[in-house]
Structure 1
Amino acid sequence: MEEMYTNEDSAKRTTNKKGSSSSKERLYLGVLIYLWLLNVFLLIRLYSFGVCFKDQGPLTGGLSNIKDNLTHHLQAINDQLALMTEQRDLLNSNITQMSKQLIRFQSLSTQEKKCPKGWNMFGHSCYFFSTNPGSWEEGRNDCKNRGGDLVVIDDANEQRFVSTFANKAAWIGLNDKVTEGSWKWVDETSLYLANWEEDQPDNGGGDPEWGEEDCIHVRDDNKASWNDLSCEISLFWICEKVPTLSE
């Protein structure tokens, strides 16, 4: 009896064990099915969300903003091109006017130029040698009244002409009245070509008899060399002015 009881108990335990295993397998299967369905559901939701995001979401707004920005930049470029075209047309107009003026100037420059009676022409200037002496300022005022100024010698050819033109000592348009030793022509240009007499300029050499020597004259020698002298000394002078166009 004891052995039979034992066998029955073993059979029951085996049956119970199998039943327990089957229950666990069904539970695992249910969990897997649930997880699979959950995954499918999540995938469907993600897909739906992506479609909505693509059709109506921020992406659409971003594309719209990009389009608006491109349109704005394109309009700005068009405006700039229009402005540049306008400026080009204005420049062309100015060039045309300048070309006409240049042609007119060239036409005038080819006309014969002449100096007034009593003046001698050399290069592009007319020269006048005074008939009466006076101070440097008197000589300059006379030249201005005649439409010119005291001569400005700015190249070697002009210096050679003056040396043949001046037959007496005469004032020229060079002085250092403003700043001692800083020589200026009457047209405010600085001295860069000189024809000084030996040991000149010397500002009187400190001799009170000569005083301050701030004005320049050409000597009556074959080179018309330059010397500084008191501006109050009475000398002849040389005037210079541009020639007039003949009618």
Structure 2
Amino acid sequence: MYAMEAIYDNVECVKLDNPTPSTNYTGQRSSKRSFYLGVILSLSLLTVFLLIGLITLSFFNHNLAGHVSAEAEKRDLLNKNISAVSNQLSSMTEERDILNKNISAVSNQLSSMTEERDILNKNISAVSNQLSSMNEERDLLTKKLLCFYNQNKQCPAGWSSFSCSCYLLSGRSDSWNQARKDCRDRGADLVVIDFAKEQEYLTRLTNTLTWIGLHDEEEEGRWKWVDGTPLNLMYWADRQPDNGGGDPKWGEEDCAHIRTFENTLWNDLSCTNSLPWVCEKIP
């Protein structure tokens, strides 16, 4: 009994004398509990953050998938449009090639027609020249026949006779138009020079600038005689006709005269100038 009490006394003494280990043990437990709570809290927060991240990632992944799907649809639609445009371009290219072939064929046909037209124009020109030559021969033959018919007829008083025609040198001067009027009033017209001998005769008949029946009043540069025949036999002086040489002071030179101041050839002059003239008619 006393022994047990002694033991308890010793135990109590021990507890009372060494209280520190119990306090340390309680502090350690409290520290561990705080540490574990911190770890648990950190893991919980990390879990929450991971969960938020997964949710966010899932949301963005869903949106990205939708965007990719929409882009894929746009790409497919664009490819379809490109394919349609490509087919249309291919069709247009074929149509262009056909059109180019047709244009080439038409161009060749036009070229052939142009060649035929040129040949036809040459033929027409040749025929026209032949007709003109035949008309000149006819006119010459007509004059010869008239000459033969009138060979026994006499020219009026004051008129001179040469090669079946009668000629009158005016005794005054006037414009070309007034000179022609005077000849017509006499049943004649301004002289028409048909052959070289007639030119020689007129150079003897005249002695100064004298109007003849040659003009280009209707069309500049297209000279013709008063009887409508074109100019074939020509005796123009050097560098004539020149229509005044472009000098305004000379005016439009649309009428011709025989003899210049230097020779017996022809020159063009303004029709308003005042010159003597030669009338010609058949007896």
TM norm structure 2:
0.46
Query: Is structure 2 residue 259 aligned with structure 1 residue 219?
Result: yes
Counterpart residue identity of residue 124, structure 1:
C
Larger Rg: 2
Question: Which of 206, 219, 222 is the equivalent residue of 1:182?
Answer: 222
Counterpart residue identity of residue 190, structure 1:
P
Query: Is structure 2 residue 150 aligned with structure 1 residue 131?
Result: no
Cα shift at 1:110: 7.3
State the match for 1:16 in structure 2.
none
Mapping of residues 100-139 of structure 1, within 5 Å: 109=149, 112-139=152-179
Q: Is the 8 A contact 1:140 1:149 kept in 2?
A: yes
Q: Distance in 2 between matches of 1:199 and 1:225?
A: 11
Q: Secondary structure at the match of 1:161?
A: helix
Cα shift at 1:111: 6.4
Query: Is structure 2 residue 269 aligned with structure 1 residue 205?
Result: no
C-alpha RMSD of matched pairs (Å) = 2.0
Cα shift at 1:224: 2.3
Q: Is the 8 A contact 1:132 1:236 kept in 2?
A: yes
Change (3 A) 1:222 1:208: closer
Q: Secondary structure at the match of 1:113?
A: coil
Query: Is structure 2 residue 212 aligned with structure 1 residue 172?
Result: yes
Q: Distance in 1 between matches of 2:194 and 2:151?
A: 25
Q: Is the 8 A contact 1:214 1:228 kept in 2?
A: yes
Change (3 A) 1:160 1:221: farther
Q: Distance in 2 between matches of 1:142 and 1:116?
A: 16
Cα shift at 1:168: 1.8
Higher relative contact order (CA 8 A, sep 6+): 1
Cα shift at 1:109: 2.8
Q: Distance in 1 between matches of 2:152 and 2:249?
A: 50
Identity percentage of aligned residues? 54
Q: Distance in 2 between matches of 1:227 and 1:109?
A: 35
Counterpart residue identity of residue 199, structure 2:
Q
Q: Is the 8 A contact 2:252 2:269 kept in 1?
A: yes
Deviation sequence 1:151-199 (CA, Å, 0-9, x none):
0001101001011111121100000000000001000000000101111
Q: Is the 8 A contact 1:163 1:222 kept in 2?
A: no
Q: Is the 8 A contact 1:166 1:220 kept in 2?
A: no
Q: Is the 8 A contact 1:115 1:121 kept in 2?
A: yes
Unaligned residue ranges in structure 2 (runs of 5+): 1-144
Q: Distance in 2 between matches of 1:200 and 1:178?
A: 19
TM norm structure 1:
0.53
Query: Is structure 2 residue 198 aligned with structure 1 residue 162?
Result: no
State the match for 1:229 in structure 2.
269
